[in-house]
Amino acid sequence: MKKILITRKLIKDSEDKATKIFEAKLNSNDELYSRAKVIEMSQGCEAVLTSLTDKMDEEMINKLPNTIKVISNFAVGFGNIDLEAAKKKGIAVTNTPEVLSDATAEIGILLILGACRRVSEGIQSAKESNWKWSADYLIGKQLTGTRLGILGMGRIGQKIAAIAKSLGMIIHYHNRSKLSVEKEQGAIYHDSLRSLFEVSDVLSICCPATKETENLINKETLEYFPTGAVITNVARGDIVDDVALIDALNKKKIFAAGLDVYKGEPNLNPGYLKIKSVFILPHLGSATKHTRIAMANLAIDNIYEFFKTGNCKNKVN
């Protein structure tokens, strides 16, 4: 039986599956292992099942024992892993696409609704029982007829587009490459960021965090948006320059923001907490039991497939 290290606690069904197939080292207390501890625990193992809390940078990868052949990430995003460093060391990196797209799209829509309809302020007022209904009380932005820009219309972006369309939104998107007509579902393609942002009354960020997308939302690009636009991010915090977005919110250039992900999680920029129109969640994208089991099972299957066939369909490096 192959020995593997699973760095974080998984839902029991998935841990049971892992221990049937592998000699798996589990993290029953869900301790946040230090870098040194991950290196120590991976001695004698042939694969590591990592989570987004594990920063597998070049230094870390180079310190892994030479027996490690696979890093199986318990996420579709892999911005926490240096793919090139892994490749150089002969380590395959895999991810868990598709199985989390529905759950994450639901949170993407929640961010749009939460930010547009001033849900943070509404919850606060309702809890304090200090509100009085009036014709202009907590007026928000209606989704029907509003233009939604999707930055990164991939698996999750396309699902958000389908739901948003059913709510009456008009969908625009930007990817580096145009989708087929079938995948576009009537959405309007923009070949540049600027062109997309200029028509985005609401933006949903759904692209991966890469060197290319880091701080794509910044002081300059925020100027492209119509005044009073709403920015939502269900992808990764690294895509947004927080200082620039907080400044645009304070100046009312941007009406509201809906955020599930942050730079330096779990410590989000405190500037966001001072702005009433910001709707925040603690990285809940894939957080349903069904999805977390499916993700963990896929992460385990990826390791199994790699050792059985020498390759894996979800290999990303």
CB of 77 to ligand NAP, least distance (A): 3
Residue 97 sits in the site that holds ligand NAP (CB under 6 A) = yes
Out of 68, 110, 143, 207, the only residue in the binding site for ligand NAP (CB under 6 A) is 207
Residue 213 sits in the site that holds ligand NAP (CB under 6 A) = yes
Kindly list the distances between the CA atom of residue 245 and the CA atoms of 71, 115, 233, 269, in Å, as whole numbers in the listed order. Answer: 34, 14, 12, 11
- Find all residues with CB under 8 Å of 101, minimum gap 6, and list them: 76, 155, 156, 159
Out of 285, 291, 296, 300, the only residue in the binding site for ligand NAP (CB under 6 A) is 285
Beta-strand ranges (E) seen in 40-98 are 47-50, 70-73, 92-94
CB of 245 to ligand NAP, least distance (A): 17
Nearer to ligand NAP, 42 or 213 (CB): 213
Binding mask 44-73 for ligand NAP (x = CB under 6 A): ------------------------------
- Find all residues with CB under 8 Å of 22, minimum gap 6, and list them: 1, 2, 3, 4, 47, 300, 303, 304
3-state secondary structure of 19: helix
Instruction: List beta partners, residue 232.
Output: 204, 258
Give me 68's structure tokens: 């490690």
- Measured from the Cβ of residue 139, the count of other Cβ atoms closer than 10 Å reads 10
User: What is the DSSP secondary structure assignment for residue 32, as one 8-state letter?
Assistant: -
Per the omega criterion (within 30 degrees of 0), is the bond before 266 cis?
A: yes
Residue 175 sits in the site that holds ligand NAP (CB under 6 A) = yes
Nearer to ligand NAP, 136 or 182 (CB): 182
Give me 33's structure tokens: 């292992």
Within 12-41, which residues bind ligand NAP (CB under 6 A)?
Answer: none
Stretch that binds ligand NAP, among 54-62, 96-104, 109-117, 126-134 (CB under 6 A): 96-104
Catalytic one of 117, 236, 292, 305: 236
Do 279 and 265 form a contact (C-beta atoms < 8 A)? no
Residue 309 sits in the site that holds ligand NAP (CB under 6 A) = no
Residue 212 sits in the site that holds ligand NAP (CB under 6 A) = yes
Q: Does the annotation mark 236 as catalytic?
A: yes
Q: Which residues of this chain interact with ligand NAP, rule CB under 6 A?
A: 76-77, 97, 100-101, 104, 152-157, 174-177, 206-209, 212-213, 234-236, 260-261, 283, 285-286
* Residues marked as catalytic: 236, 265, 283
